[in-house]
Amino acid sequence: MGRTPIDVALSSGIVRGRSTNGVATFLGVPYAAPPVGALRFAEPRPVPAWSGVREALEPGPSAPQRASTSLASLDVFPVSGARWRRGDDFLTLNVWAPTGSRSRPVVVYVHGGGLVLGTKDAPAYDGTAFARDGVVAVGLNYRLGVEGFLPIPGAPTNLGLRDTIAAFTWVQDDIAAFGGDPANVTVFGESGGGIAVACLVTSPLTTELFRRAVIQSGHGSAVYSLHVARRTVAAVARVLGVPADVEGFGSADAERCVAALSRVSRPGRVDLRDEDGVDPSFGLGVVNPVVGDDVLPRHPLEALAAGAGADVDVLIGTTAQEANSWFAPTRLDLLPRWAARWLLGRVAPRSRALFAAYADHGPGGPGERGGEVLARVLTDMAFRWPSRQYAEAHQGRTHVYELDWRSPAAGGRLGAAHGVDLPFVFDTLHTTTGPRGLTGTAPPQDLADHVHGLWVSYATDGTLPWPEFDRDARGVYHLSARAIRREPIMPAAAFTPAAPHLQQV
């Protein structure tokens, strides 16, 4: 079958996509007005209606950002899409839908990138396989970095989350026009997108906007109080040479703001440790959602413990070796122990004891390099343990998984690193396969069939082939082994402040 034009009438006007082999694709469909001029630091506004037919054949612009398409020897562009496509109209989304269908389940993907980079248009996020399997897939852009997540005095907070809520609302209003069922929506995100989804499960502004949530390599603990986040605001303002308020930031164009945030993001530039001495990002970033506004009135774990999001089914998980993504390609895993201990001391209290807890029980024994120990510490502290805390706090139906397949990339040292799960979920292994690819030269297609099938099944009716998570049984489903394993309490638990209103481990 060839490509044929296909028109869909939305509440704002008619969009024209293309249909290929039973899948209708619409790219760059606006869900909010362009966030420029007076709207740059304002809440998202409705899309102005248009007359005639608006073509939705090209992805369009992305949010302002600065990023490389490679990480040392690895090509990470397929899973980050991190390239600034300049243009004002970037609050848009992509839709892939099976042609001629009605009332199909819907998945809405929030891309990752530490809330400072990324786009809906990364090659690995192509939703064709979901549509092929009967699910309407949506991917969205949102404001990043300075415009999206810095709590600038005089501007609304959490604008990136507000954009995401606006996109979820658009899905409720318009997804039926593409054959989707607005009453059967699953939202999912990875990394920064996983943090966004984890937070929004608890938000009073998302009631009845989605039925299920999948949180990949994200959790609800990566949030800042306002006074901590304002340290980054002050630091960026100093680099820009402007007052630390909305007028000052408004006088600096997006190019300057992106450059200033990039400069401030260098390790050690901003101390983001809280009153417990913990940086919830553990030095991996300087931007997170803030707590205490109408989007997130309470810390997400406190809100979960009080019953927020109990009506939303949650599937949450991580990769087994998250931090390898930063350590293996850059050879930071070869750091000596003294250097690794020093770095850990910059982001965590009791760092010597924490380092020793992992060094004393490591797979490499006394000869394990400091960087390898530090990677395991950060994998648990920044990803695995807080995701388990989230699962324990959620009062509704909850399942936990872990990706245990180890990529042979980066000289065989990448392993089950951050982001390796994405091409398996989207069934897009072809985008990450090759000598510099994230998944090496011969990744297992049967695992992609399995993982993608699980996500399709979950989005369709919530079905998963393993029991719900229980804090006593601690059953975690390992995707490659296809087995449930009882997971012991991690050493990280003893070094993590108790989640608000939750029982201490």
In a domain, 266, yes or no: yes
Nearest to 349 by CA among 497, 503, 501: 497
Query: Can you give the residue range of the structural domain that contains 162?
Result: 3-495
Q: 110-132 burial string, b = 16+ CB within 10 Å, else e?
A: bbbbbbbbbbbbbbbbbbbbbbb
**Rg of the chain on CA atoms, in Å:** 22
- Render 259-295 in DSSP notation, one character per residue: HHHHHHTSTTSS----TTS--TTTTS-S---BSSSSS
In a domain, 345, yes or no: yes
Contact between 135 and 105 (Cβ < 8 Å): yes
User: Tell me, what's the pLDDT at 1?
Assistant: 47
**Does pLDDT of 87 surpass 80?**
yes
In a domain, 504, yes or no: no
The count of structural domains within the chain is 1
224 contact partners, CB below 8 Å, separation of at least 6: 272, 274, 280, 288, 289, 290, 291
Question: Looking at residues 97-121, what average pLDDT do you find?
Answer: 95
**Does pLDDT of 501 surpass 90?**
no
Phi, psi of 503 (to 5 degrees): -65, 135
Residue recorded with tokens 């398996």 = 424
Torsional sign, CA 146, 152, 154, 156: positive
Model pLDDT for residues 213-225, shown as the tens digit of each residue? 999 999 999 999 9
Q: How confident is the model at residue 505 (pLDDT cuts 50, 70, 90)?
A: very low
In a domain, 122, yes or no: yes
Model pLDDT for residues 306-354, shown as the tens digit of each residue? 999 999 999 999 999 999 998 888 888 889 999 999 999 988 889 999 9
In a domain, 67, yes or no: yes
Distance CA 389, CA 193 (A): 18
Residue recorded with tokens 């638990």 = 493
In a domain, 435, yes or no: yes
**Does pLDDT of 2 surpass 70?**
no
List, in sequence order, the alpha helices (H) in 70-142.
77-80, 128-132
User: Tell me, what's the pLDDT at 502?
Assistant: 44
Distance CA 488, CA 298 (A): 29
**Does pLDDT of 89 surpass 60?**
yes
Model pLDDT for residues 255-303, shown as the tens digit of each residue? 999 999 999 998 778 999 888 888 888 888 899 999 999 999 999 999 9
**Does pLDDT of 416 surpass 70?**
yes
Q: Three-state DSSP class for 453?
A: helix
Q: Three-state DSSP class for 12?
A: coil
In a domain, 156, yes or no: yes
Q: What is the 3-state secondary structure (H, E, C) of 318-351?
A: EECCCCHHHHCCCCHHHCCHHHHHHHHHCCCCCH
Q: How confident is the model at residue 497 (pLDDT cuts 50, 70, 90)?
A: confident
User: Tell me, what's the pLDDT at 411?
Assistant: 87
Provide the annotated active-site residues: 191, 322, 418
Distance CA 126, CA 431 (A): 10
Model pLDDT for residues 38-83, shown as the tens digit of each residue? 999 999 999 999 999 999 999 999 999 986 655 667 888 888 876 7
Q: CATH number, domain at 256?
A: 3.40.50.1820
Q: How confident is the model at residue 3 (pLDDT cuts 50, 70, 90)?
A: confident
In a domain, 501, yes or no: no
